[in-house]
Structure 1
Amino acid sequence: MIAKILGIVLLLLGFLVLPVLGKTPKDDHSHEDEKVIKLSEKIIREFGIHIEKATLRVFPRIVELPGEITADPDREVHVVPVARGFVREVYKRWGDRVCAGEVLAVIDSPELADLKASYLAAKARLRLAEELYRREELLWKKKITAGESFLKAKKDLELARIEVKTLEQKLLTLGFSPEEIKEFESGRRPLGRYELRSPISGLVVEKHLVRGEMVGPDRLAFQIADLSVVWVLISVYREWLPYVGEGQRVWLVIGEKFPEIEARIDYLNPILDPDTRSAKARVILKNLSRELKPGLLVKVRVAVGGEEKALVVPEGAIQYLKGHPAVFVKTEEGFVPREVKIGRKHGKWVEITAGLAPGETYVAKGALTLKAELEKESLGHGHVH
């Protein structure tokens, strides 16, 4: 009797449990993760949403090489004092922009004062020698004085001219212009004072002097760099050297802030670095905005020959949802975000290695609008129909 009652109870429990067991998570969540955006044809046209079928395209074989932005060494100058002296004034600091000829610092040099004083004394002796020569020449022509006196005056004049010319050349070698030499001949400025000027327009990238200290020609005072043009030096490893050459197109990826830059290799050094066994290829870039900073690392994409077919989409078709790349796929219900894996990039095209199949319809243009609509819907504001 007890066994019969237990059997009936178990049978009743089975009928109660079966419906629960038959209910799978799929039934509860079949539409929970599927986010569909429904838009009318009118809205699609208004927002410029373009739909295309995913197809295979010819894609060049691309390798990624490391590069670094450097200053053009032909556009850099080192400014050093022309003579030993004390720094009187410093007008420019690290990071200042300067124009060609602008004064960087003022230096008082006893050494230079001695040289200028010697020059002025030589000029005075030259004027005296010229007067004596003219006097002796006149007396000699009138047969009043002997020829030896005239020849001695002529010799003294030539020696005085040579002395002045020698000292003048020393001053010119130190960087003083003929106009500046005439200025201190007039006595309008101290003999030992001179100005350090920038030879070019550019940026002060180094400064190594302070007011009051002693400096000399063996001491770098300023380094000025013109960064309106910069170089990108690319490390080309041995296995890729047969495929890389001068005139070849490359694509430079500097960072999120900068768009991809297309350029050409200007020069390939035929000598390999003994440590890295790589050659340096050079790309020259205009940098009028000064945003390309020397020292920035660059990813350089180079086509190394050979082509293959790959599934690619325009770069604008890829949107990042929760940090993952995705494309919007067109289904019968509407537009659905689909997470994808991306591979190589070439120009405006990006390779899709997983998540999208050839023949599927996706949003090639206007995906940003769908992303905004998806985010608005997730905040509970509904969506546009």
Structure 2
Amino acid sequence: MNSPYESKDGTQPVARRKQAIAIAVVLALGVAAGIGILSTGGRAGAGGEAAHGHEDGEDHNEGDAHAHAKSGADKGHGGEKPASTEKPHDDAGAPDVITLTPEQQKAAGIVVDTAKAATLTATYQLPGEVKFNEDTTAHVVPRVVGVVESVPAALGQVVRRGQVLAVLSSPAVSDLRADLQAAQKRLQLARTTYEREKSLFEARISPQQDVQGAEQALREAEIAVTNARQKLMAVGATPDSSALNRFELRAPFDGTIVEKHIALGEQVREDTNVFTVADLRTVWAQISVPAKDLPLVRVGDRVTVRATAFDQSAVGKVAYVGSLIGESTRTAQARVTLENPKATWRPGLFVNVEMKGDAVEVPVTVAADAVQTVEERPVVFVQTPRGFQAQPVKIGRSDGQRTEIVQGLTAGTPYIATGSFMAKAELGKSTASHAH
């Protein structure tokens, strides 16, 4: 007898279909369960950890002894700390941040200002040296050979125009004076002869030819006297003197004897520089101008000249700018005329000449004293919520009062405008303590 599940040909198609359906259902349920476990496993684990943490919190509330025991157990388990959020960076403890109380800032003279736009007139400094004003400086030379008889002038003495500086005995001057006196005598004789011949001609005693000859001789005698007198004046000798050979060297103008190369009894040549007389009421500040700065230096510009050896300054005008550039120095020479009523500016003194350029608008500037150098780079101490921090900057132009900040600061940033040197000192102390 056949089973009810069998077909007439002995197969079991109905049972097989039911079995396949059951297997498919079981597999589908298994896949769904696996997906559910994977998706909820993370939340379940987190929930478990949270619950575990809650239990730990309750245990901690029960007593510190259990908390210390648990901490010891954690350290014993590999010494690793439990996961926590990253500790925030404390700027107040960083070596480049300075924390100062308002009282400390006041005691240190620190004044805070904000970076802002300003109009800068760029200032340039060029090296220079004080020189004699060559227009009021003279080298006194004898112009004749002679022997020094007396030297009444002394080095550094203030002299007046025409004052006797030295007296020489010169044979050349004696010859010139003798020639002048001889010419004067011939002129006197020629004039007498002419007057006589003229009277005789008017009386119709002498012919006109004699009068004309006498007049010609008179004119030649006059020329000879003028020539002899001019020769004496050319060497600086006076026509009249108690001695023919006496030659006096005199001051050409009011000034000071700044050089003296003459001594009593010395024989001097005609080209010997025996005295240098300079009027020091005005001097020159000679400037060496590099080729790149020549467009900045113009005749008539007002400049400030500052001495490098002491605290002294004066205002003058550029009087000359050279047209040639030196082959070795690659600089051109310029000069500034300075008034020197108290003889403060002495020739040979080194100076710095400050020149101002064109005014320009700059978006970000700080006080010139605010810029300090830390680790060989310029910095400005900016104010932060935790203190003052050295902010590296890139500086640009400056007029001595304010300095342009090209990079590193924005307008409105608070910074130390006065007293930045004290902040730099504090920063050095802080860096040294962190190094130890």
* Shared fold, TM over 0.5: yes
Deviation at 1:276, TM superposition (A): 1.7
Structure with higher Rg: it is 2
Secondary structure at the counterpart of residue 101 of structure 1 = coil
Residue of structure 2 equivalent to 1:230: 283
More helix by share: 2
Matches within 5 A, 1:322-337: none
Matched, 1:88 2:149: yes
Deviation at 1:303, TM superposition (A): 3.3
TM (norm. structure 1) is: 0.64
Q: Which amino acid aligns with 2:357?
A: A
TM (norm. structure 2) is: 0.57
Rounded to whole Å, the distance in 2 between the matches of 1:287 and 1:352 is 39
Residue of structure 2 equivalent to 1:270: 323
Report how many aligned residue pairs link the two structures: 323
1:88-145 Cα distance to aligned partner (Å, 9 max, x none): 1112233222222222111121111111112112212222222233233333433444
Rounded to whole Å, the distance in 1 between the matches of 2:297 and 2:203 is 85
Contact conserved, 1:235 with 1:279, CA < 8 A, in 2?
yes
Contact conserved, 2:145 with 2:170, CA < 8 A, in 1?
yes
Change (3 A) 1:351 1:95: farther
Structure 1 portions without partners, runs of 5+? 1-32, 42-48, 319-328, 330-337, 372-385
Residue of structure 2 equivalent to 1:220: 273
Contact conserved, 1:83 with 1:112, CA < 8 A, in 2?
yes
Rounded to whole Å, the distance in 1 between the matches of 2:226 and 2:295 is 59
Q: 2:219 aligns with which of 132, 138, 158?
A: 158
Residue of structure 1 equivalent to 2:135: 74
Residue of structure 1 equivalent to 2:162: 101
Deviation at 1:221, TM superposition (A): 1.6
Q: Which amino acid aligns with 1:298?
A: N
Change (3 A) 1:252 1:297: closer
1:15-41 Cα distance to aligned partner (Å, 9 max, x none): xxxxxxxxxxxxxxxxxx9999979x9
Q: Which amino acid aligns with 1:70?
A: K
Change (3 A) 1:349 1:87: farther
Q: Which amino acid aligns with 1:102?
A: Q
Rounded to whole Å, the distance in 2 between the matches of 1:246 and 1:284 is 11
Matches within 5 A, 1:266-305: 266-295=319-348, 296-303=350-357
Residue of structure 2 equivalent to 1:170: 231
Change (3 A) 1:50 1:306: closer
Q: 1:197 aligns with which of 250, 267, 270?
A: 250
Contact conserved, 2:116 with 2:363, CA < 8 A, in 1?
no
Rounded to whole Å, the distance in 1 between the matches of 2:129 and 2:364 is 30
Change (3 A) 1:87 1:55: same
Q: Which amino acid aligns with 2:254?
A: S
Matched, 1:134 2:232: no
Contact conserved, 1:60 with 1:308, CA < 8 A, in 2?
no
Identity %: 33
Rounded to whole Å, the distance in 2 between the matches of 1:76 and 1:65 is 25
Instruction: Please provide the CA RMSD for this pair.
Output: 5.1
Rounded to whole Å, the distance in 2 between the matches of 1:268 and 1:151 is 61
